[in-house]
Structure 1
Amino acid sequence: MKHLLSSLLVLTLFISCSKDKGTNIDYVAKNEQEIIAYIAKNNLTAQRSNSGLYYVITNTGTGTQPNATSNVTVAYKGYYTNGTVFDQSSAAGISFGLNRVIKGWTEGIPLFKTGGNGILLVPAHLGYGNNDYSSIPGGSVLIFEVKLISVN
């Protein structure tokens, strides 16, 4: 009986370890390639930050520039590299604290001043990571067209 329990315990640990390896995929290199391909396909001139965030500043804006803890109002459209939209605000935008959103937004929105707009290309490690979040599959590159309406 002890051998059976020991065997079951070892088998359970082996199965759980095997599952963990499958869910802990490192998407950094995969996302980087996907973003670079998207930039090339769409003829974008993007810059890359040290964190891996890519961004395109269409218009810097002329108003107040937020910081990583500012409360802002942003109009946006979020989609995948295949063009499928997963979320979109109204033209009036939504208000939120930059310390309460994904890292890609906390870093990317302060690149603009009020009235500015552009594109944020967010790898999974700056978005929702490797896990599914709502309708967004884990490991997804997220692209956001953003307009900074105001710093509140």
Structure 2
Amino acid sequence: MSLKHQAYKEENIRFLEENLEDEDVMELPSGVQYKVILKGRGAIPTKKSTVKVHYRGTMIDGKEFDNSFSRKRPEVFRVNEVIQGWQDALMAMPLGSRWMVYIPYELGYGTRACGNIKAYSTLIFEVELLGVK
């Protein structure tokens, strides 16, 4: 691993450690962190559920890499078709919820880059769960 990659990896690990100091941030057993913006009261998805979500994705520097809100079109997909961090968050999130979700690189794209997302990136998503089937 290059020094540049090592420094970026450490910066992302530090971000998550400091993020947990916020009393509103919770952590799932997998290491995914979340903050409830709006508490839903509906069904909680399973791995086989199809969900309808709005989301905005950024990295720890605030750089946005995806945004369904700005497209004005929610996305629909099966829970088991997305990165592990998304699966973990969705399977803890009641319908109608809006959460900030913080995904460690190991549960995102790991050691590889993906489009505008660098290797070792913590992924931050604002997720609104609109539907569960």
Q: Shorter-chain TM-score: which interval?
A: 0.7 to 0.9
CA distance in structure 2 between the aligned counterparts of 1:109 and 1:55, rounded to whole angstroms: 11
Give the 5 Å matches for 1:36-47: 36-38=17-19, 45-47=24-26
Aligned equivalent of 2:118: 137
The residue that corresponds to 1:147 in the other structure is: 128
1:108 pairs, out of 84, 89, 95, with 89
Identify which of structures 1 and 2 has the higher relative contact order when contacts are C-alpha pairs closer than 8 Å and 6+ apart: 2
Identity among equivalent pairs (%): 29
- Render the CA deviation track for 1:60-99: whole Å, top value 9, x for unaligned: 3122211122110010000011111110003441000110
Contact 1:28 1:125 in 2 (8 A): no
Which blocks of at least 5 consecutive residues in structure 2 are unaligned? none
Q: Structure 1 unaligned segments of length 5 or more: list them.
A: 1-20
Q: Secondary structure at the match of 2:88?
A: helix
What secondary structure, in the 3-state scheme, does the structure 2 residue paired with 1:32 have? helix
Instruction: Return the alpha-carbon distance in structure 1 between the equivalents of residues 115 and 39 of structure 2.
Output: 32
The amino acid that maps onto 2:125 is F
Q: How well do the aligned residues superpose, as a CA RMSD in angstroms?
A: 2.4
| C-alpha deviation, 1:114, in angstroms | 1.4
2:33 counterpart of 1:49 = no
More strand as a share of residues: 2
Query: Is 1:117 matched with 2:72?
Result: no
Contact 1:62–1:113 under 8 Å retained in 2: yes
Tell me if structure 2 keeps the 8 A contact 1:113–1:148. Answer: yes
Distance across 1 between alignment mates of 2:13 and 2:50: 29
Structure having the higher helix fraction is 1
1:36 positional shift: 3.0
Q: What TM-score does the superposition give when structure 1 sets the normalisation length?
A: 0.74
Answering whether residue 2 of structure 2 is matched by residue 35 of structure 1, we say: no
Please say if residues 30 and 88 of structure 2, whose CA atoms lie closer than 8 Å, have aligned partners that are also in contact.
no
Number of residues paired by the alignment?
129
Aligned match for 1:99, one of 75, 80, 83 = 80
- Distance in 1 (CA, whole Å) between partners of 2:33 and 2:102 is 5
Q: Out of 46-55 and 30-39, give the one that drifted further.
A: 30-39
> In 1, are the aligned partners of 2:104 and 2:123 still within 8 Å (CA)?
yes
Q: Closer, same or farther in 2 for the Cα pair 1:129/1:136, shift >3 Å?
A: same
